[in-house]
A = this chain, B = another copy of it.
Amino acid sequence: MGIYEIMKEKNIVLPPAPAKGGLYTQCMPFGEKLVYISGCGSDLEGDAVHGKLGKELTIEQGQQCAKNAVLNLLSVVDANVGLENVKKCIKILVFVGSDPDFYDQPKVANGGSQVLVDLFGEAPSRSAVGMVSLPGNQPVEIEGIFELK
């Protein structure tokens, strides 16, 4: 089954690729068959919550934000190299805007990992860490490395 069929089956709908928020390249090829995707925030059009985990937001809201950030990542991948040419996600680094007393970054990150498992049948390697603040007060930012076929 092709990846766009999987997306249809799993009800995964890609947003438009996010606008660049600065002076960087969104998708950068490197090495053999790898691309680096610049950090994507969790804002989607019509679905943007702001604040920090452990303060304004619940874990469930954070999981939705992590899912949205992964959707943004995938949208950048699709616009630049085409998701049908992607083998899998190698790695994500999950930045979670956090209060000093919030320690559940992995639970939040799982909301993003799940989408990648659904699509590629395998979870990426990952770190999930707490950030004192993120661009635009978005609760989650995720960068990733994808491997092409």
Contacts and interface: CB of A to CB of B under 8 A. Distances in A.
Given A36-B90, A113-B22, A114-B23, A130 B133 contact: yes
Q: How many copies does the complex hold?
A: 3
A31 B28 contact: no
Contacts of A30: 34, 90-91, 145, 147
A143 to B, nearest CB: 5
Interface string A71-95: 0000000000000000000110101
Interface residues of A, number: 57
Interface in A26-70: 26-28, 30-32, 34, 36-39, 52, 54
A92 to B, nearest CB: 8
B26 A132 contact: no
Contact of A131 (B32, B130, B141): B130
Contacts of A10: none
A18 interface: no
A109 interface: yes
Give the 10 A-B residue pairs with the shortest CB-CB distance, closest first.
Answer: A39-B127, A130-B133, A22-B106, A24-B126, A23-B113, A28-B125, A132-B132, A36-B125, A38-B125, A23-B110
